[in-house]
Structure 1
Amino acid sequence: MSQPSFTNTLPIDIEAVDGSLSRDPPKGSPDESTLQRLEKLEPLAVDKNGSESNVDIKPQPVKDIEDFPDGGLRAWLVVFGAMCNTFSTFGFVNAWGTFQAYYQTNALKNVSPSNIAWIGSIQFSLIFLPGLIVGRLFDLGHFRVVYMPSVALIIVATFLVPECKEYWQFLLCQGFAVGLGCGGIYSSNTAVIAHWFRRRRGLALGLITVGASIGGIFFPIVIRSLIVNVGFAWCMRILGFILIFTLGLGSITVRRRLPPVKGSLRGIFDLTFFKSSAYTIYCLSGFIAFLGMYTALTFINTSAILYGVPAGFAVYLTSIANGTSGIARYLSGYLSDRVGSMNVMIPCVTVAAIMTYAWPFARSEASLIIVAIIYGFSSGAYISLLVNPILAMGGNGNIGHRIGMAVTVLGLGALFGPPISGAINHVTGGFPVVGYYAGDIVMVAVVLLCITRHLMLGKIWGRV
């Protein structure tokens, strides 16, 4: 059988592979770079009789598991579902200041503010503390095994809160149960974004944290209104139905994309992560930051009432802070893709520390609004970008485990921060010393963030 001629039938456009190559055959043996370019060409098709067919050869991009959609309907639906999840978890927990003010004057008026603060502190810290286990299970492919029971736990606990009469009952339902449910969702809800986005990852993470701010605006206003109009019991039941709807949307739309890694839970306490100095110091900075970061948001309503601001107005301070936080979360995500996450976080955390110093001395409605706006914006930017540096410290195979280990450390700071502030308030009889303590703590975190940045970048200027 005569061999077919391919001279005119194979339109090999070498210029499409690399414009620097000529159509003339190279003289002598091809160099290594030329061979690497030619390897990108698809091989000739061979039919079942073993003869080569005349096909067009065009350079094809290498497709592998690391290709990221970085957009498209399915990817943005994941972002929408993750926003619904943060609305229902972080947003709900961010309304704790409203519950703190209500419990101090009603259901738990005989309990000290510091003890009441433990409910919110446990609730908030448990968003992070289960991250070590949840993140590892996510890497192993067990996303929904953890996610669906967590959704059920949040909803059931919310319906049980109005049945509570004693302090320990509130602590169990609203502190531990709601907190654990939120923790079962948070780490994997963040890690799944790394499956769908790379180039626009900062924007995607910023958008999902906007859900927390929307919840932080929505829940305090709705809680206050419902308590006044239908009472606390029906307030919590209505909140339960709202959570059924929003968490249901999240369960429908949020999905993994990449295959699971091989392994087991035996390596869950993988301390090799801490061989990285940048990772270790970043985790330490987060732990210290959370000892003071949420002090102002937790007590701004209570301090406003103490200084004579009407309770009906004070409840909106939390919503104002969360509203500006939502704007910051979007803008910081957008900016981080352009200038780097750490370059956005460090100045924002510095401003948050300054506002923490200023908060106890804001004693009029106007000054409290200013503090709430600036504090909400700066703290929101930090929370929005919290996991971005962690994503940059390794690959995608163990992304859930790496995030989980870090947020577990952060959660310890969130656990002890507000109760320490409440105890200082109880001992000193006011909030100025609380502001000094929390502000100093956050400034220490700023120094550690600067050290982390230098370790990651290795120089003064640059994007990281």
Structure 2
Amino acid sequence: MYPETKRSTMVLGATTAAAAHEKVYKKSGEPIVVEVKPVPLASGDAEDEIAPLQEGNEPPPDGGLRAWMVVFGAFCSSFTTFGYINAWGVFQAFYEQNILRNEPGSTIAWIGSVQYSLLFLPGLIVGRLFDLGYFRVNLIWASLLLVLSIILVPECKVYWHFVLCQGFATGIAAGTIFGPCIAIVTQWFNKRRGLALGLFTTGSAAGGTVIPITVRTLLPRIGFPWTMRVLGLIVAVVQLMAILTLKRRTPPGQTSSGGFLSFGCFKSAPYSVYCLSTFTVFLGFYTLLTYVTTTATSLGLPENISFYFVAISNASSGLGRIFAGLVADRYGALNVMIPLTAICGFMTYAWPFAKTEGQLIAICIIYGFCTGSYAALIPGPVIPMGDLKQVGHRIGIMLTLLAFGGLLGPPVSGRVYSVYGLKPMGFFAGSMILFGVTLMCVARVLLSRKK
């Protein structure tokens, strides 16, 4: 029989953010040997939002009440950020016909483009801050700024007021909230990650459906100022639910050897090509959503019908997001994204040739389904391309590059429309999407070779 072995536990104080693990062995006639290995915990902006270290070292739970509450909170944030910005087509048409009717449509489109781009552009900074533990404080101040920017829109009188308020303020607030939500969801799910991301991004479809209908219903009844105040109240309530339910699972990572911002991830060829593909796709991605209401009105369709095309497309995208999430867990994100995004490009080609209400509705449904699938899975291929504790940084870089495509796409398309007409605009936007699909295929081949 071996002599009795005594085990003791030594834990350093929580205020020093450290723990100790030790092994104590005792042999007959020999002194006690103690081995202590301190494990530091990186400090964040709030201790209560960091789960225990042991939990962070375990595989994601892939379910459970806490995990699904996080998905619900992310859904709410997607509703108030991506969903509100997806409704821009309604505001584009309203401004062209009312407040900013003296401005060209391509000029007005810059307001929406600034929103789209800033939804992703801050990702490089906020993603790195998320990795270092700064999440909740950013979530709170950005939520306040988002609500404030919405209720101040009616006070805008000239074009540059709208650019600052509904463009920059809304975009910065939404971008600070949206990117880290992707990283949080990935911390709680692995095998069911596609489904979780699909449900999370369904919030944008819900917001993009509810908000245009709300605006269209309230405008003739209570006017533009009070319509925006009601929207501000809706966003405030939904975003409060997000603040109460979002919580990170793993402890923050450490600053990489490259400093606060590191671009070492571009050493990976699949990652680099994939990032370039997102930029290219987004050069044409939002063109249909931005201009479908305006072009439908120009075809002679009733205004009360034209306003609902954005809502129809966004509602369909919700189904696409759920479908993509379910299928991607089985077949892989890129394998699902490539064919569905290609269909999105073909629908953009077909859009200018639609002449009737039924044809436009059919195109919006198919287009919305496919764009929803793509949007739901954008971060999917990036997640396994490195350490999970650095996922916020990798996603942030990708979102920043993607943002420039979202910034340039609608105004350039609008310029093509004003100079050459609707069909060349559809050809330009559809070609950009299909070129992005080609790059995704290249990334897929490079990734398979790497494995």
Normalised-by-shorter TM-score class: 0.7 to 0.9
Equivalent residues in 2 for 1:396-435, closer than 5 Å: 396-428=388-420, 430-435=421-426
Secondary structure of 1:169's aligned partner = helix
Q: Which residue of 1 aligns with 2:131?
A: 139
Distance 1:275 1:233, change over 3 A: same
Q: Which residue of 1 aligns with 2:76?
A: 84
Q: Which residue of 1 aligns with 2:186?
A: 194
Q: Which residue of 2 aligns with 1:250?
A: 242
* Residue identity in the other structure for 1:443: L
Q: Which residue of 2 aligns with 1:308?
A: 300
Pair 1:323 & 2:315 matched: yes
Secondary structure of 2:212's aligned partner = helix
Q: Which residue of 2 aligns with 1:260?
A: 252
- How far apart, CA to CA, are the structure 1 residues paired with 2:122 and 2:314? 25
Residue pair 1:127, 1:180 contacting (<8 A) in 2 also: yes
- How far apart, CA to CA, are the structure 1 residues paired with 2:118 and 2:3? 70
TM-score, normalised relative to structure 2: 0.87
Residue pair 1:132, 1:268 contacting (<8 A) in 2 also: no
Q: Which residue of 2 aligns with 1:28?
A: none
* Residue identity in the other structure for 2:448: L
- How far apart, CA to CA, are the structure 2 residues paired with 1:87 and 1:201? 19
Deviation at 1:266, TM superposition (A): 7.3
5+ residue gaps, structure 1, are 6-42, 51-61
* Residue identity in the other structure for 2:314: N
Deviation at 1:264, TM superposition (A): 7.7
Q: Which residue of 1 aligns with 2:354?
A: 362
Pair 1:457 & 2:448 matched: yes
- How far apart, CA to CA, are the structure 2 residues paired with 1:148 and 1:63? 25
* Residue identity in the other structure for 2:101: K
- How far apart, CA to CA, are the structure 2 residues paired with 1:68 and 1:137? 22
Distance 1:443 1:156, change over 3 A: same
- How far apart, CA to CA, are the structure 2 residues paired with 1:278 and 1:245? 40
* Residue identity in the other structure for 2:90: T
- How far apart, CA to CA, are the structure 2 residues paired with 1:311 and 1:222? 15
Q: Deviations over 1:141-172 (max 9, x none)?
A: 00012111110110011110000001000110
* Residue identity in the other structure for 2:326: Y
Aligned residues: 407
Q: Deviations over 1:369-422 (max 9, x none)?
A: 010001001111000100000102112110100100110000010000000001
Q: Which residue of 1 aligns with 2:37?
A: none
Selected match of 2:383 from 377, 384, 391: 391
CA RMSD between the two structures: 2.1
Q: Which residue of 2 aligns with 1:56?
A: none
Identity %: 47
Q: Which residue of 2 aligns with 1:35?
A: none
Selected match of 1:163 from 139, 155, 161: 155
* Residue identity in the other structure for 1:216: G
Distance 1:267 1:102, change over 3 A: same
Residue pair 1:137, 1:265 contacting (<8 A) in 2 also: no
Distance 1:317 1:262, change over 3 A: same
- The list of structure 1 runs, each at least 4 consecutive aligned residues, that deviate by more than 6 angstroms after superposition, is 2-5, 43-46
Deviation at 1:3, TM superposition (A): 8.1
- How far apart, CA to CA, are the structure 1 residues paired with 2:86 and 2:257? 31
Secondary structure of 2:388's aligned partner = coil
Deviation at 1:67, TM superposition (A): 1.8
- How far apart, CA to CA, are the structure 1 residues paired with 2:348 and 2:431? 9
Q: Which residue of 2 aligns with 1:116?
A: 108
Pair 1:378 & 2:370 matched: yes
Secondary structure of 1:388's aligned partner = coil
Secondary structure of 1:238's aligned partner = helix
Deviation at 1:4, TM superposition (A): 10
Q: Deviations over 1:3-45 (max 9, x none)?
A: 899xxxxxxxxxxxxxxxxxxxxxxxxxxxxxxxxxxxxx999
5+ residue gaps, structure 2, are 5-22, 31-53
- How far apart, CA to CA, are the structure 2 residues paired with 1:119 and 1:64? 41
Q: Flag the structure with larger Rg.
A: 1
Residue pair 1:140, 1:264 contacting (<8 A) in 2 also: no
Pair 1:224 & 2:219 matched: no
Equivalent residues in 2 for 1:285-296, closer than 5 Å: 285-296=277-288
Pair 1:442 & 2:433 matched: yes
- How far apart, CA to CA, are the structure 2 residues paired with 1:263 and 1:386? 25
Deviation at 1:88, TM superposition (A): 0.4
TM-score, normalised relative to structure 1: 0.85
